[in-house]
Amino acid sequence: MRLLIRNGRAVDPASGLDAKRDVLIDRDRIVAIEPRIECPDAEVLDASGLVVAPGFVDIHVHLREPGIEHAETIESGTRAAAAGGFTAVCCMPNTLPVNDSAQVTSFIVERARRTATVHVHPIGAISKGSKGERLADIGAMRSEGAVAISDDGIPVMDSGLMRRAMKYAASFGITVIDHCEDLSLSAGGDIHEGLQSMRLGLGGIPGCSEDVMVARDIILAADTGSRVHIAHISTANSIAMVRHAKRMGIPVTSEVTPHHFALADEKIPGYDSNFKMKPPLRTQRDIDAAIEGLADGTIDCIATDHAPHTGHIKMQEFERCPFGITGLETALALSLKTLYHAGTADLKHLVGLFTSAACECLGLDRGRLRAGGPADITVFSTEREWVYDVHSTLSKSKNSPFGGESFRGGPAATIVSGKVVWTAGGGIATRPPSAPANKMPSFQPTTRIQPR
Amino acid sequence: MPTLLSRGPSPRSLLGIEHLQRPEIERLLERGTHYKSVPPFMKLDTLRGRSIVNLFFEPSTRTRTSFEIAAKRLGADTIDIQALGSSLSKGESLVDTLNTLAAMNPDIIVMRHSASGAPHFLSRYLSTPMINAGDGRHEHPTQALLDALTILEVKGTLEGLRVAIIGDISHSRVARSNIHLLGSFGADIVLCGPATTVSENMTRLAPGVSLTYDMREAVRDADVVMMLRVQLERQNVEVFPKNEYFRYFGLTLEHVQLAKQEAIVLHPGPINRGREITSEVADSQRSMILSQVENGVAIRMAVLEWVCSEQDGRKRCAS
């Protein structure tokens, strides 16, 4: 079973490749990347006018399984991932139960093997039950497939525990991801503390609630030598501190979500809970800092923090709603709009933010386009005009602030382990990649697969 | 984004002062003055046959009673629902509770809720017109209207007045609505309170707003001194040492003497003697606290009439 991706613009930041190339896939491997490949027995995916990139990796999603399956499952969440052009995701441990043990980690790995459309890498908890008291079984989770540890959403306040977690995790070679929020500074907050929170009478989450913890984590990273990754960085001050830390050689990396560089707090329509997330949407000054941070490498990558919640949970008084929005399906389009079309990132840089650079943060062996490597490939358009219809999302939840948003450019086809699992015209292929091959989905309207 | 003042096919609601236009505020104040001149024993039939639901998710005596009296004086039928007796305590969501009530076809829902924006959120799903009787820390539009009516009665105008608003400002819906209203009439507004409850951002809510932490500076040459209730129940943590609050932000006769000679003192109530205001001031000639209560009924009659008048084109009046 061979697949030939023809006439695309192949972009591989890791090797510096940016040229017209044909890509030949045999089963789950890329076998050749050449200016012109003839292979009469291969199926052909015509990628004329499209970009052929290494499979995108989202290192920050919430798949809600086990325990919160009404909002999302590994199956539904990874379908949404495929529709967003992602071929691998790293899922946060705040499930029910919390992924704080080898048992839960291996459950996720096994469920993913049976139901997932894209590759799934679990992230284990830092502390038991993410309660911030005792260390979780970090080594055992690592052995079962966890790629990092984090108490995302329920951040570790105890600096002593965090320091022990860093030292211990470093000895197992895995990164500590921190959701930086001093809960005593953010308590009672709903949106960014500023004019908008004051106007709406909502509780404010000050920027300093993030800055204080970013400073702490940088200091602890310097102290322990552990790799620390700052999740969803959102303030100008935090970005400045990470920039300084990197110059000092401290092993710290950071990610930003598309919504944090695409939306400012003043854009929040009154009391629409699809604009409520942590960290909150910040100011234009913070957005400018994030774009600058992406440009100079202070911010390593883009991650979505895809956080599904079902309708009735979000359909409440603003201050009672949970935090979080979905993001897998709009991440690339928002990045193209805000970074690429706005001229602040070229194509190679943009692709790197979703691939090689993201993988480097966690030490994942993914995100490259090379002969002999795994056939995880994202094909996307920089030009296709489309409108995001949140009601036809493949996620189980619809809590996105971008419903109805017009975009220029977005995913075109997602290939996981050599199989086309999603196309812009044909939607999702019904079988997960590990299951027997399905009929090739049609690929409309911009390109088409031609059986030979 | 929900429109706060909707027209046309969607019902007219009063959700806040911020998005009201000045002519609309003036019209409401005119009608409030008119209703004040109607003797209280006269029962009108302006809203005869209309049903008004008073839905209070927070305890309230004066606002709830005031709306009820206003509705009854206009001839409407009122239904009083208090949160503790509602199905909310049985785990029903706010949307479901309101949908259930709306299915019974009331003409207006008057709602107070502890969450900021609760009526704005609901108005996206309901076709019944709503009047916001106070939402969390956000707005309390009828309070600002009755305060304006009280000031107008004594001063004859709102323009150019110096108004000091004193107390726990960031937690106060009364302060927000008053800032929007007085700001749109060109008043000079001075905010004063503990630094942890007054943010620089408040000065950007409306033109002519300034900020001080010194009570004496705030009241100096003021035409109106508006005191706020200390809202300990809205503070997640103690944001100022409450034992010394009165010492720095309590209103005494000495302060009143710093204000203009004809200055008046307002307080939305319930007053907390000895915490925000001395009894001498509260009971003095300068205090308009009881006028405010009286004007509350008149202004709520004007608001109910205004909200209902929009319906007349769409729905048969019961007269």
Write the Ramachandran bin of A158: left for phi over 0, alpha for psi from -120 to 50, otherwise beta.
beta
User: For all residues of chain B together, what is the average pLDDT?
Assistant: 89
CB A66 within 8 A of CB A115: no
CA–chain centroid gap for A348, Å, is 18
CA distance A267 to chain B (A): 10
Residue of A191, A237, A192, A197 lying closest to A213 (CA atoms): A237
* CA neighbor of A362 nearest in space, from A253, A246, A224: A253
Q: Tell me, what's the pLDDT at B86? A: 52
pLDDT per residue as tens digits for the range A192-212: 999 999 999 999 999 999 999
User: Hey, is the C-beta of B88 within 8 angstroms of any chain A C-beta?
Assistant: no
Compute the distance between CA of residue A78 and CA of residue A89 in angstroms, rounded to an integer. Answer: 8
Q: How far is A214 from chain B (nearest CA, A)?
A: 24
User: What would the mean pLDDT of B2-21 be, rounded to a whole number?
Assistant: 67
Contacts of A193 (CB under 8 A, 6+ apart): A204, A205, A206, A207
By C-alpha distance, the chain B residue nearest A317 is B118
B229 in Cβ contact with B268 (< 8 Å): yes
Mean pLDDT of B45-54: 94
The token pair at B19 is 């998005």
Higher per-residue pLDDT: A340 or A429: A340
CA distances from B188 to A304, A343, B265 (A): 46, 46, 16
- d(CA A27, CA A371) in angstroms, rounded, equals 13
**pLDDT, tens digit, 9 for 90 and up, residues B219-232:** 999 999 999 998 77
Looking at residue A425, its pLDDT comes to 84
List chain B residues with CB under 8 Å of A321: none
Contacts of B120 in chain A (CB under 8 A): 270-271
pLDDT over 60 at B242, yes or no: yes
Helix H or strand E encompassing B123:
helix B118-123
Distance from the Cα of B210 to chain A's closest Cα (Å) equals 15
Name the β-bridge partners of A3: A25, A43
Question: B232 at the A interface (CB within 8 A)?
Answer: no
d(CA B79, CA B52): 6
A198 neighbourhood in chain B, CB within 8 Å = 170, 199, 201-202, 204-205
pLDDT surpassing 80 at residue A169? yes
CB-based contact A316 B2, cutoff 8 Å? no
Q: Within this chain, do residues B212 and B176 fall inside the same structural domain, yes or no?
A: yes
CA–centroid distance for A76 within its chain = 15
Confidence check: pLDDT of B273 > 50? yes
Inter-chain CB proximity A319 and B18 less than 8 Å: no
Cα separation, B73 vs B41, whole angstroms: 8
On the question of pLDDT at A433 being above 80, the answer is no
Q: How far apart are CA A318 and CA A190, in angstroms?
A: 8
* Residue pLDDT, tens place only, A250-287: 999 999 999 999 999 998 988 999 999 999 999 999 99
Q: Is residue B197 part of a domain?
A: yes
**Do the Cβ atoms of A270 and B120 come within 8 Å?**
yes
Q: What is the ipTM of this complex?
A: 0.90
Identify the band that residue B90 occupies on the pLDDT scale cut at 50, 70 and 90. low
How close, in Å, is residue A277 to chain B by CA atoms? 17
CB contact under 8 A, A269 and B199: no
- Cα B112 from Cα B135, distance rounded (Å): 6
pLDDT computed for residue A448 by the predictor: 34
> Are B187 and B281 part of one and the same domain?
yes
- Which chain A residue lies closest to B122 (C-alpha atoms)? A317
Mutate to test the interface with A, among B122, B130, B200, B201 (most CBs of A within 10 A): B201
**Model pLDDT, residue A354:** 98
Instruction: Pick the residue of A193, A200, A202, A272 with the most B CBs within 10 A to test the interface with B by mutation.
Output: A200
Whether B116 and A318 lie within 8 Å, measured CB to CB: yes
Residue A268, token pair as written in the block: 């929040």
Range with lowest mean pLDDT among A182-196, B59-73, B95-109, B296-310 = B95-109
Q: What's the pLDDT score for residue A56?
A: 98
Residues B94 and B168 in one domain: no
Statement to judge: residues B157 and B66 lie in one domain: no
A184 CA: distance to closest CA in chain B (Å):
10
Helices (H), A248-283: 258-262
3-state SS class at A75: helix
Are B113 and A317 within 8 A, CB to CB?
Answer: yes
Residue A449 predicted with pLDDT over 50 = no
Nearest CA in chain A to B179: A199
Burial class (CB in 10 A: 0-12, 13-18, 19+), B240: middle
| Full residue range of the structural domain in which residue B59 is found | 22-139+295-311
pLDDT at B102 over 90: no
Per-residue pLDDT band at A38 (split at 50, 70, 90):
very high
B259: in domain: yes
3-class secondary-structure state, position B181: helix
Residues of chain A with C-beta less than 8 angstroms from the C-beta of B176: 199, 201
With tokens 């003497």, the residue in question is B257
Q: How many residues does chain B have?
A: 319
Q: Residue B274: left (phi > 0), alpha (psi -120 to 50), or beta? A: left
Q: Is B174 within a domain? A: yes
Instruction: Provide the pLDDT for residue B61.
Output: 87
Q: Which residue of A has its CA nearest to B139?
A: A201
Q: Are B114 and A203 in contact (CB under 8 A)?
A: no
User: With 0-12 CB in 10 A as exposed, 13-18 as middle and 19+ as buried, what is B218?
Assistant: buried
| Chain A residues close to B1, C-beta within 8 Å | 269-270, 272
**Interchain CB contact of B180 with A (< 8 Å):** no
B106 lies in the same domain as B171: no
Q: What is the pLDDT of residue A188?
A: 92
pLDDT value at A157 more than 90:
yes
Q: Does B121 contact A271 at a Cβ distance shorter than 8 Å?
A: yes
A203 and B204: CB-CB below 8 Å?
Answer: no
pLDDT number for residue B168: 92
* Residue B5 included in any domain: no
Cα A361 from Cα A252, distance rounded (Å) = 9
Our count of domains for chain B comes to 2
Is B12 contained in some domain?
A: no
Report yes or no: B121 at the A interface, CB cutoff 8 Å. Answer: yes
Q: Say whether both B259 and B301 belong to one domain.
A: no
Phi, psi of B37 (to 5 degrees): -80, -10
* Residue in B95, B176, B202 closest to A315 by CB: B95
- Other CB atoms within 10 Å distance of the CB of residue B188: 19
Q: Give residue A400's Cα distance to chain centre.
A: 15
- Give the tens place of pLDDT for each residue, A294-338: 999 999 999 999 999 998 888 889 999 999 999 999 999 999 999
- Concatenating the DSSP letter of every residue in B32-99 gives HHHHHHS-TTPPP-TTTT-EEEEEESS--SHHHHHHHHHHHHTT-EEEEEEGGGSGGGGT--HHHHHH
CA atoms of B108 and A249, how far apart (whole Å): 64
Half-sphere exposure of A317 (CA within 13 A, CB side): 23
Q: Same domain, yes or no, for B164 and B237?
A: yes
| pLDDT higher than threshold 80 for residue B269 | yes
Residues paired with A411 in a beta bridge: A380
Q: Is residue B9, in this structure, part of any structural domain at all?
A: no
User: Which has more confidence, B29 or B95?
Assistant: B29
Across A375-379, A443-447, B126-130, least confident range = A443-447
Residues B150 and B281 in one domain: yes
Token pair belonging to B107:
């003409």
In three-state secondary structure terms, B56 is strand
Contact of A94 with A60, CB cutoff 8 Å: no
Picking from A80, A9, A147, A60, the residue whose alpha carbon sits closest to that of residue A328 is A80
In chain A, which residues have their Cβ closer than 8 Å to the Cβ of B116? 200-202, 271, 318-319
Pairwise CA distance, residues A37 & A21, whole Å? 9
Encode burial over A368-401: b for 16+ CB neighbours within 10 A, e otherwise.
Answer: bbeeebbbbbbbbbbebeeebebeebbbbbbbbb
3-state secondary structure of B165: strand
Residue B138 contacts A, CB cutoff 8 Å: yes
Contact in structure between A373 and A59 (CB atoms under 8 Å)? no
As a whole number, the mean pLDDT across chain A is: 94
Indicate if the alpha-carbon torsion angle A266, A271, A274, A280 is positive or negative: positive
Own/partner contacts of A38-42, CB < 8 Å, gap of 24 or more, are: A39/A2, A39/A4, A40/A452, A41/A2, A41/A452, A42/A2, A42/A3, A42/A4, A42/A452
pLDDT at residue B82, as a whole number: 79
Domain match, B184 and B209 both: yes
DSSP string, B136-173: TTTB-HHHHHHHHHHHHHHHS--TT-EEEEES--TT-H
Asked if pLDDT for residue B16 goes beyond 60, the answer is: yes
3-state DSSP call for residue A207?
Answer: coil
Q: What residues does each domain of chain A span? A: 53-362
Nearest chain B residue to A267 by CA: give it. Answer: B1
Is B173 within 8 Å of B12 (Cβ atoms)? Answer: no
CATH node for A53-362: 3.20.20.140
Helix (H, G, I), strand (E, B) or coil at A429: coil
Looking at beta carbons, which residues of chain A come within 8 Å of B138?
Answer: 200-202
Instruction: Using the structure block, give the residue that is written with the tokens 């004066």.
Output: B62
Which of A195, A198, A317 is the closest to B117 by Cβ? A317
In the DSSP assignment, the letter for residue A329 is: T
Catalytic residues of A: 305
What mean pLDDT comes out for the span A121-145? Answer: 97
Residue B235 lies in a domain: yes
Distance from CA of B33 to the nearest CA of A (A): 29
Which among B224, B205, B260, B70 has a CA at the least distance from the CA of B152? Answer: B224
The pLDDT value given to residue B7:
36
Cβ distance of B93 and A316 shorter than 8 Å: yes
pLDDT in tens, B144-195: 999 999 999 999 999 999 999 999 999 999 999 999 999 999 999 999 999 9
Is residue B6 a contact partner of residue B300, using CB atoms and an 8 Å limit? no
Locate B204 and state its tokens. Answer: 């950007």
B243-268 average pLDDT score: 95
**Cβ(A156)–Cβ(A162) below 8 Å:** yes
CATH label of the domain that carries residue B146: 3.40.50.1370
Beta-carbon separation of A202 and B117 below 8 A: yes
Q: Give the residue from chain B lying closest to A197, CA to CA.
A: B201
CA dihedral of B296, B302, B303, B305, whole degrees rounded to 10 = 140
Identify the helix (H) or strand (E) that includes residue A233. none
pLDDT tens by residue, B296-308: 999 999 999 999 8
Q: Which residues of A touch B (CB under 8 A)?
A: 187-188, 194-195, 197-203, 269-272, 312, 315-320
Sequence letter at residue B169: I
pLDDT greater than 50 at residue A452: no
Which pLDDT score is estimated for B91? 67
